[in-house]
Amino acid sequence: MPATPDSAKSDAAKHLWHGRFSEAPADSLMAFTASIGFDMRLWRDDIAGSIAHAEMLGATGVLPRVDVDAIVAALHQVQGEFDGGTFAFVASDEDIHTAIERRVTEIAGAAGAKLHTARSRVSDRDFVAEALFTLAMVGLHLSRLGEEWVLWTTEEFGFATLSDRHATGSSMLPQKKNADIAELARGKAGRLVGNLTGLLTTLKGLPLAYNRDLQEDKEPLFDSLDQVNRGLEALAEMIAAASFNADAMRTAADAPAAVATDVAEWLVARGMPFRQAHAKVGELVSRSLASDTPLVDLVRADAALGPDAAALFAPGVAVRRRASRGAAGPAAATAQRDELRRTVAALTARLA
């Protein structure tokens, strides 16, 4: 049976913006525009912001102290309901903001209805875009780290082995151990970039004021936060629990081809222009491959190089030479580790 104007007006009155309307909103409108399903996680922030707003209204003389106290007490009661899992949403709650305001008004009466005084939605979303960019960059770094681990744990590289608790198996191949955390770190990077791109696309066509389009900022932001937090935790646990094959890594680091750059640098240190040194060592590498002769033998026999340059091929020498800030040598890597630990400790202290 169609609603009469009076009954429709009564239905519309359930919404905080009912005054302009004589008919209840269509179910399709409410289903399409509601955000309570994903923004309810903001309840703590909304209550904290509402308490600050109410105190501002009192401090500026807009509301009497008795109304401010009633509003703040009601907000604390609402906080207790959320903490206790007893807060009850109703069908007219479009989002977490209207849900809390509705409940505050139920508790505090006329004073609660004054919470919305001097309050409106804002159009600033630069901070969301910047946060999504930062999260996307973190995701890209995790993706690159994940790619390294996918390679390192293959039979071909064999640098590391994942713990059974941080790997999965194959439904077809019984011998497989899959680096799913590392693989999903790669895959989710695209999702994080997509969240950033989606919000920027939403923002680029809007006029300079609030539009309902901006409701679409929350799901990508929440999703990116959740995915990055889970990725950081999972990768950290995976790496901490992995075992390393030091012999395989040492062999790869001391591979003759990896020392070619050190030979060129040795020549540069003795006055040869780098391009000339690069060409000379490149020619030796080519001869080594063509004749199946070890590169170290060709270096030792070369008049411009000899035994001193050939000493670069001794185990560990090339790696230890990487000693500048940020390099891969043991001393430089240890310094980086210590610096990062100090940075993490300082940031943790700031957030405490």
Using DSSP's 3-state secondary structure scheme, residue 18 falls into helix
- Rounded Cα distance between 289 and 280, Å, is 15
- For residue 14, what pLDDT is reported? 63
- For residue 3, what pLDDT is reported? 35
43-74 pLDDT tens trace: 999 999 999 999 999 999 999 999 999 999 99
What is the CATH code for 126-244? 1.20.200.10
- For residue 123, what pLDDT is reported? 79
- For residue 10, what pLDDT is reported? 39
- Dihedral pair phi/psi, residue 178, rounded to 5°: -95, 135
As assigned by CATH, the class of the 34-116 domain is mainly alpha
Q: Tell me the whole-structure pTM to 2 decimals.
A: 0.83
- Rounded Cα distance between 225 and 214, Å, is 18
What is the CATH code for 254-320? 1.10.40
Considering only CA atoms, which of 323, 214, 199 is closest in space to residue 265?
323
Pairing of strands 243-244, 160-161: antiparallel
Considering only CA atoms, which of 197, 45, 205 is closest in space to residue 135?
197
- Domains 34-116 and 254-320 equal at CATH topology level: no
97: left (phi over 0), alpha (psi -120 to 50) or beta: alpha
pLDDT along the chain (352 residues), means of 10: 35 60 84 88 96 97 97 98 95 90 96 93 90 98 98 95 92 86 97 97 90 92 98 97 95 90 96 97 96 95 95 92 91 96 96 88
Is-contact 129 196, C-beta < 8 A? yes
What six digits make up the tokens of 139? Answer: 């995701």
What is the residue extent of each domain of the chain? Answer: 34-116, 126-244, 254-320
Element (H, E) at 163: none
What six digits make up the tokens of 306? Answer: 């000899």
Q: Cα-Cα-Cα-Cα dihedral of 98, 103, 104, 109, to 10°?
A: 120
CB atoms within 10 A of CB 112: 23
